Amino acid sequence: MGSQTKIVVVKAKELIYTGIFLVLGILFVILLITMFGKEKKKDTSSTQKYVPGVYSSAITLGENTLNVSVTVDEETISGVSIENLDETVTTMYPLLEPALNEINSQISVVDNVDDITYSKENQYTYIILNQAIKNALEQASATKK
């Protein structure tokens, strides 16, 4: 049983046409995928957590009213500060500034204000500041109508 050699003659013109059609077919498939594929662009209205800006909430400590200002961008809290803070308030409430500094150091790391950790010794100061921050974030909420 001998095998016979088959000779196939392919013209160069046919190879060129086949290559061109193959490239055009691949480009057409890529075009269809990009046109009708899933959209990967972010919809700003659905992913935006906050309306960027500075929002404040008032807290009363004794006879003094302080404003807790919260700076937010579209998705995160940038910082927290206290306005109207004078020497008498810092003397009467010495844990206020260290608690605020601790909150500012954790605010960029945590996703939620409730995730901020604090010591039991000054838990009431943290609770007051935490509630004021939450009140300001309610104003900043993008889903609020």
State what percent of residues in the chain have pLDDT above 70. Answer: 90
CATH fold of the domain at 48-140:
Sufe protein. Chain: A (3.90.1010)
CA separation for the pair 93, 82 (Å, rounded): 13
CA separation for the pair 53, 72 (Å, rounded): 6
Given the DSSP bridges, would you call strands 53-61 and 77-83 parallel, antiparallel or unpaired? unpaired
pLDDT by residue (tens digit) across 120-143?
Answer: 888 888 889 999 999 988 888 865
Give the model's pLDDT for residue 95: 87
DSSP 77-92: EEEEEEES--HHHHHH
- The residue-averaged pLDDT of 39-56 equals 71
CA separation for the pair 68, 82 (Å, rounded): 5
Contact 128, 95 (CB under 8 A): no
Any idea where the domains of the chain sit in the sequence?
48-140
CA separation for the pair 144, 24 (Å, rounded): 50
